[in-house]
Amino acid sequence: MPAAMNKNGMVTEIHTRIRKEPFTANYELVGRELGRGKFAVVKKCVEKATGKQFAAKFLRKRRKGADCRVDILNEIAVLESAKESPYVVGLHEVYETNSEIVLVLECAAGGEIFNQCVADNDEAFTEKDVVRLAKQILTGVAFLHQNNVVHLDLKPQNILLTSVRPLGDIRIVDFGLSRRMDSVTEVREILGTPEYVAPEILNYEPISTATDMWSIGVLIYVMLTGESPFLGDDKQETFLNISQVNVDYSQETFEEVSSLAVDFIKSLLVKNPRKRATAEECLNHPWLNSHPHSHPHLHTRAASSLDEPETSQSESEPESPASS
Ligand code: ADP
Ligand code: MG
């Protein structure tokens, strides 16, 4: 484990060799952009030597006039520390020029789960899909938490899929806000995306692994219902909804969703971080061992004529003893 850590919980000592030759000497950019965030552009590329596809994340070292190289080193260090987890995106190589650092990442060809979260029924996740993907997300996050890493930016744009049809596996990406929580680290200054941030962040209270668990509660809510539980008309209203834990658990919103799923979300959207379920506790929740319907949820439109063939199987009975 690299030991160099500053007081914000950022690790800046890395093991990956930083290559100084041009990225384009070894890779060819192909196709369109895979995505972009505030300071990064991600493009698909092919490694010339092997013909293998990767995703190249181009990060500017200067942001708003400030040198952000240490933030990028932290992102690399976190990726290194999670390389044993199949659910965290793999880091292949790193390149550096005068102005930017390029992370060559495993390509998650299915894109963001965000697309299925906002999709119509024939594209949207079924509860059965969400159970399988939630287990993977929690397994990945449990790995991070066991290593004292908090992600701090878990949202549908940062959870990718290896493929869409057939629905593949998840890869957690974007460790730009991640921190190590060992030592007496207190992180008070970071803000993630308004809709997904936990109440303790809004109150400038200490951040912990529980902060990620809140975001996972929001994430699963969105995956199951297609609705963002705290989103208001403006930031102010969103923050008020979060601090009051103002959540709609009505029948209409959770039409076709099992009560075990609702119970699962309720264990995460708890204001007191110490009373929130941990990743390990979530993995033992009866919902993740249940076998819900595999037909799509019906919230985005009226009853569908596109019935899935599998629905005749009796998959609706939860088999966990805890649920009866
Ligand atoms: P930022 O820190 O700017 O948000 P991200 O790491 O989240 O950068 O990348 C931005 C977007 O690029 C992601 O939301 C996703 O759509 C896409 N992307 C990132 N990494 C990969 C990858 N390994 N494979 C495929 N697409 C990716
Ligand atoms: Mg991102």
Q: Is 128 annotated as a binding residue?
A: no
153 is catalytic: yes
Q: Of 71, 129, 153, 174, which one is the catalytic site residue?
A: 153
Q: Is residue 235 part of a domain?
A: yes
The residue nearest atom 13 of ligand 1, judged by CA position, is: 35
- Compute the distance from residue 304 Cα to the ligand 1 centre, in Å: 33
Q: Quick one: pLDDT at residue 315?
A: 39
- Compute the distance from residue 224 Cα to the ligand 2 centre, in Å: 21
Q: Are 57 and 103 in contact (CB under 8 A)?
A: yes
Q: Quick one: pLDDT at residue 92?
A: 98
Q: Is residue 178 part of a domain?
A: yes
Q: Is residue 293 part of a domain?
A: no
Q: Quick one: pLDDT at residue 321?
A: 43
Question: Does residue 198 share a domain with residue 76?
Answer: no
User: Which is the closest atom of ligand 1 to the Cα of 40?
Assistant: 3
Q: Are 258 and 282 in contact (CB under 8 A)?
A: no
Neighbours of 213 (CB within 10 A): 26
Q: Is residue 301 part of a domain?
A: no
How many whole angstroms separate alpha carbon 314 and alpha carbon 310?
A: 9
Buried b vs exposed e over 300-322: b needs ≥16 C-beta within 10 Å? beeeeeeeeeeeeeebeebeeee
- Each residue's pLDDT tens digit, 153-192: 999 999 999 999 999 999 999 999 999 887 545 666 666 7
Neighbours of 68 (CB within 10 A): 17
Q: Quick one: pLDDT at residue 181?
A: 84
Helix, coil or strand: residue 100: strand
Q: Quick one: pLDDT at residue 322?
A: 41
Residues 225, 213, 259, 228: what is their CA dihedral angle, to the nearest 10 degrees?
-20
Question: Does residue 62 share a domain with residue 208?
Answer: no
Q: Which of 42, 43, 94 to mutate to test the pocket of ligand 1 (most atoms within 8 A of CB)?
A: 42
Is residue 178 lining ligand 1, measured as CB closer than 6 Å? no
The residue nearest atom 17 of ligand 1, judged by CA position, is: 35
Nearest to 170 by CA among 178, 159, 158, 154: 159
- Each residue's pLDDT tens digit, 212-221: 999 999 999 9
How many whole angstroms separate alpha carbon 110 and alpha carbon 103?
A: 19
**Ligand nearest to the CA of residue 35, numbered in listed order:** 1
Q: Which domain holds residue 123?
A: 109-286
**Per the structure, how many domains does the chain have?**
2
Q: Quick one: pLDDT at residue 301?
A: 38
Q: Quick one: pLDDT at residue 309?
A: 42
The tokens for 305 are 């004529």
Q: Is residue 228 part of a domain?
A: yes
The tokens for 146 are 């066991």
- Compute the distance from residue 160 Cα to the ligand 2 centre, in Å: 10
Question: Does residue 245 share a domain with residue 126?
Answer: yes
Question: Does residue 274 share a domain with residue 133?
Answer: yes
Residues of the chain with pLDDT under 70: 1-7, 183-191, 295-324
Q: Are 276 and 214 in contact (CB under 8 A)?
A: yes
What one-character DSSP code corresponds to residue 201? H
**Ligand nearest to the CA of residue 161, numbered in listed order:** 1
Question: Does residue 116 share a domain with residue 100?
Answer: no
Q: Quick one: pLDDT at residue 317?
A: 39
Q: Quick one: pLDDT at residue 314?
A: 40
Q: Quick one: pLDDT at residue 1?
A: 42
Please enumerate in sequence order all residues whose Cβ is within 8 A of that of 34, keeping only pairs 6 or more positions apart, or say none: 42, 43, 44, 55, 107, 111
Q: Is residue 323 part of a domain?
A: no
- Each residue's pLDDT tens digit, 29-65: 998 899 998 889 999 999 999 999 999 999 999 998 9
Question: Does residue 161 share a domain with residue 78?
Answer: no
Q: Which of 27, 33, 57, 113 to mutate to test the pocket of ligand 1 (most atoms within 8 A of CB)?
A: 57
Q: Quick one: pLDDT at residue 308?
A: 40
Domain limit, last residue, from 54, 82, 104:
104
CATH of the domain at 39: 3.30.200.20
Question: Does residue 249 share a domain with residue 194?
Answer: yes
Domain limit, last residue, from 54, 71, 104:
104
Question: Does residue 204 share a domain with residue 151?
Answer: yes
Domain limit, last residue, from 104, 124, 149:
104
